[in-house]
Chain A
Amino acid sequence: MSTGQLPRWVDLGLIPLINLVAAFFVSGLVVILIGESPVEAVQVLIWGSLGFGEGIGFTLFYATNFIFTGLAVAVAFHAGLFNIGGEGQAYIGGLGVAAACLLLDHIVPWWVTMPFAVAGAALMGAAWAFIPGYLQATRGSHVVITTIMFNFIAASLMVYLLVNVIGEAGSMQPETRTFVEGGRLPFLTDIIPGVDFGTAPVNFSLILALLACIGVWLLIWRTRLGYEIRSYGANPDAAVYAGINPVRTIVITMMISGGLAGMMAINEVMGSQHRLLIEFVTGYGFVGIAVALMGRAHPVGIVLAAILFGMLYQGGAELSFEIPAITRDMIVVIQGLVILFAGALEYMFRPTLVRLFASRRAPAAAAG
């Protein structure tokens, strides 16, 4: 049984750490399997992600994506909903960003465009999450399944739109025209004095992401809506008793979740690529699940987990460059293992720890 009591620091600190170590241990075995040295790989990975300015810049750039998608999953978690549609919501969110940038970039500076881009991203992401949320709330269609379906529908829709509707005329590439200055967020390396992130595209979106963290924290733990979301997630019957409307709560939570996922597009589209293109989400939405799980659905945890995954992305890129046998796919493997150990096998080590702590306490109690 895994129901024994453990000290808080064990539950919140030690167990996630052990799970992470297990994931990395197995990753090490995979590295050995392809005939390379795990020690060297770790060295390259850490150096590549944290060892120099540009590496840190890329790490933070990726982390920005993960903060948004991680927050999206976390907010839904609090209402007991599993939104695995971050992928599609972020993708559709790109439409909102692109719309703002394409319309405004020639006319106004970036800081005027930005609020419209943020609103566009959030609105489009929220809209894409609205239908699964509404169907869950009113017709009981399981949100896990519908959001998976909506990821695929989003993918088809975006290809269609980029190829046939909003793609740049005369271009073979399915993408919009490149935005000019007014549609580009500044790189942090240019606006923070004394910081050199080299060519890394980490940009103003990181600030937006951190603001979103504060916003989510306030929302969940300090507002009436957050109170209602948590009540519904923890005990739907009690929530109904308390006069909380389940339909409203589910729909609003899903829309906030989708909006956060949609905002990931700001970092990629307005912050880095400066155009809307196909497949710019490439798994960030799914990794958000791992980030939210590891971060225990708390913004602080999510920031830490997002940085860890950012390190993996950037360090992994460096790794494939230094040790060609370890391709970038290694990152996907490590992500899979982290999701497995930190998520699905979350409680694997718990019974052992419970026994360990119980036996440590027992002699103490006998002595006292």
Chain B
Amino acid sequence: MFETFILLLDSTVRLSTPLLLACLAGLYSERAGIVDIGLEGKMLGAAFGAGAVGYLSGNAWVGLMAGIGVSVGLALIHGFASITNRGNQIVSGVAINFLAAGLTALLGQSWFNQGGRTPTLSQGGRFQNIELPFAEALRDVPVIGPIYSELLSGHNILVYAAFAAVPLTWWVLFRTRFGLRLRAVGENPAAVDTAGISVVWLRYRAVIVCGMLCGLAGSYLSIAQSAGFIVNMTAGKGFIALAALIFAKWRPGYAMFACLLFGFLDALAIRLQGQELPGIGEIPVQFFQALPYILTVILLAGFIGKAVPPKAAGVPYLKERT
């Protein structure tokens, strides 16, 4: 039972990682006042970029750089539309999702001729799991052994990076000048402007950070969790991350717990598939798939706490004529 539980948590960690990276990505963007429903598209673009370049180069790090590059490129399109041109941020996000879905499949087919997927990556093209020190030695110690060796050890570097990004993000937001300004511009851009700070450049930086983190999230899917890109491999994870961001009320610490919760639901669904639960019967897998969205709607409705988004989120900044 304990073993099973550890295995469940272990897969929770793996499934939460891309959500967490994308969720933190969205956090930077939305905290700066740029609503981003294009997390999904950026992840998908990054997964493709990383998969393709990881395959061609045989080097995971080069692949990762490519993934981040693609994602930042898409983020800049979103920035150009919503910051420079003051376009509708929702519409721009929808466009990014379409572009990524179409281009990855189209180019994948054109370049690799395998129905849109990339060929399987070599060992060097993927991030390998890292054994923490003494993991092997401690394996048989009761309780601590499984927790350390199974749950904490044996993940790839992006998993550790994702969880390290949580305190880092908190520190950046609440302890640095960049974070102060970022939070300010999402609440009241006019205050930032009159304080002599460029709203445009600040928001672009937030959007670029968002692109970088989405790049990590997407790359994780294609060159860490799997060994290559497949068509539409994000399968809605970007939207779950968005739900998690709302669920976390735009706070880094809560974001981690929200993503772990949603990852856990996913792991549980896989675990329980086709199994009868005593007294309940078989719970349809679709229930677990829908649960994150249902929970988020309930939260949004204000039945469990209140999710108040950054005040200026989604509103293009325009100097007012007085």
Report whether chain A binds chain B. Answer: yes
- A149-178 contacts to B, CB under 8 A, are 149-150, 152-153, 156-157, 159-160, 164
Residue from A33, A141, A331 in contact with B301 in the complex, judged by beta carbons closer than 8 Å: A141
Which residues on A sit within 8 Å (CB–CB) of B100? 336
Which residues on A sit within 8 Å (CB–CB) of B110? 34-35, 325, 327
Q: How far is the CA of A198 from the CA of B309 in the complex (A)?
A: 53
Residue from A84, A142, A325 in contact with B300 in the complex, judged by beta carbons closer than 8 Å: A142
- Distance (whole angstroms) from the CB of B72 to the closest CB of chain A: 17
A329 touches B116 (CB 8 A): yes
Interface string of A20-52 (1 = CB under 8 A from B): 000000000010011100000000000000000
A150 touches B102 (CB 8 A): no
Given A156-B287, A340-B77, the answer on whether A286 and B86 have CB atoms closer than 8 Å is no
B239 touches A148 (CB 8 A): yes
- Distance (whole angstroms) from the CB of B18 to the closest CB of chain A: 17
Stretch at the interface among A63-71, A89-97, A253-261, A345-353: A345-353
Given A329-B101, A344-B91, the answer on whether A152 and B106 have CB atoms closer than 8 Å is no
Residue from B82, B106, B293 in contact with A330 in the complex, judged by beta carbons closer than 8 Å: B106
B106 touches A327 (CB 8 A): yes
Which residues on B sit within 8 Å (CB–CB) of A332? 98, 101-102, 105-106
Q: Would you call B286 an interface residue if the criterion is a C-beta within 8 Å of the partner chain's C-beta atoms? A: yes
Which residues on A sit within 8 Å (CB–CB) of B286? 156-157, 159-160
A343 touches B87 (CB 8 A): yes
Chain A interface size range? 35 or more
Q: Would you call B109 an interface residue if the criterion is a C-beta within 8 Å of the partner chain's C-beta atoms? A: yes
Given A30-B106, A156-B286, the answer on whether A340 and B95 have CB atoms closer than 8 Å is yes
- B244-288 contacts to A, CB under 8 A, are 246, 284, 286-287
Which residues on B sit within 8 Å (CB–CB) of A82? 90
Which residues on A sit within 8 Å (CB–CB) of B107? 33-34
Q: How far is the CA of A268 from the CA of B64 in the complex (A)?
A: 42
Q: How far is the CA of A249 from the CA of B141 in the complex (A)?
A: 64
Interface string of B296-319 (1 = CB under 8 A from A): 110011100000010000000000
- The number of inter-chain residue pairs (CB within 8 angstroms) is 148
A339 touches B94 (CB 8 A): yes
B297 touches A135 (CB 8 A): yes
Which residues on A sit within 8 Å (CB–CB) of B81? 340, 344-345
A152 touches B290 (CB 8 A): yes
- A305-361 contacts to B, CB under 8 A, are 325-327, 329-337, 339-340, 343-348
B239 touches A152 (CB 8 A): yes
Given A34-B107, A157-B286, the answer on whether A152 and B293 have CB atoms closer than 8 Å is yes
Q: How far is the CA of A326 from the CA of B109 in the complex (A)?
A: 9
B297 touches A146 (CB 8 A): yes
Nearest chain-A residue to B108 (Cβ)? Answer: A329
Q: How far is the CA of A150 from the CA of B301 in the complex (A)?
A: 13
- Distance (whole angstroms) from the CB of B202 to the closest CB of chain A: 20
Nearest chain-A residue to B236 (Cβ)? Answer: A152
Q: Would you call B4 an interface residue if the criterion is a C-beta within 8 Å of the partner chain's C-beta atoms? A: no
A345 touches B87 (CB 8 A): yes
Q: How far is the CA of A146 from the CA of B98 in the complex (A)?
A: 20
Which residues on A sit within 8 Å (CB–CB) of B88? 343-344, 346
Which residues on A sit within 8 Å (CB–CB) of B157? none
Q: How far is the CA of A128 from the CA of B150 in the complex (A)?
A: 43
Residue from A34, A148, A150, A335 in contact with B37 in the complex, judged by beta carbons closer than 8 Å: A148
Q: Would you call A218 an interface residue if the criterion is a C-beta within 8 Å of the partner chain's C-beta atoms? A: no
A157 touches B290 (CB 8 A): yes
Nearest chain-A residue to B105 (Cβ)? Answer: A329
Given A139-B301, A327-B105, the answer on whether A348 and B294 have CB atoms closer than 8 Å is no
- Distance (whole angstroms) from the CB of A87 to the closest CB of chain B: 11
Q: Would you call A289 an interface residue if the criterion is a C-beta within 8 Å of the partner chain's C-beta atoms? A: yes
A141 touches B103 (CB 8 A): no
Which residues on B sit within 8 Å (CB–CB) of A145? 242, 246, 296, 300
Q: Would you call A129 an interface residue if the criterion is a C-beta within 8 Å of the partner chain's C-beta atoms? A: no
Interface string of A252-289 (1 = CB under 8 A from B): 00000000000000000000000000000000001001
Q: How far is the CA of A336 from the CA of B98 in the complex (A)?
A: 5
Q: Would you call B92 an interface residue if the criterion is a C-beta within 8 Å of the partner chain's C-beta atoms? A: yes
4 new A-B contacts at CB < 8 Å, known A146-B297, A157-B286: A329-B106, A336-B98, A343-B88, A345-B85
Q: What are 7 pairs between A and B in contact, CB < 8 Å?
A: A139-B301, A150-B293, A327-B110, A330-B106, A331-B102, A333-B103, A347-B86
List the 9 closest A-B pairs by CB distance, nearest first.
A336-B98, A332-B102, A333-B102, A344-B92, A336-B99, A156-B290, A340-B95, A344-B81, A344-B87
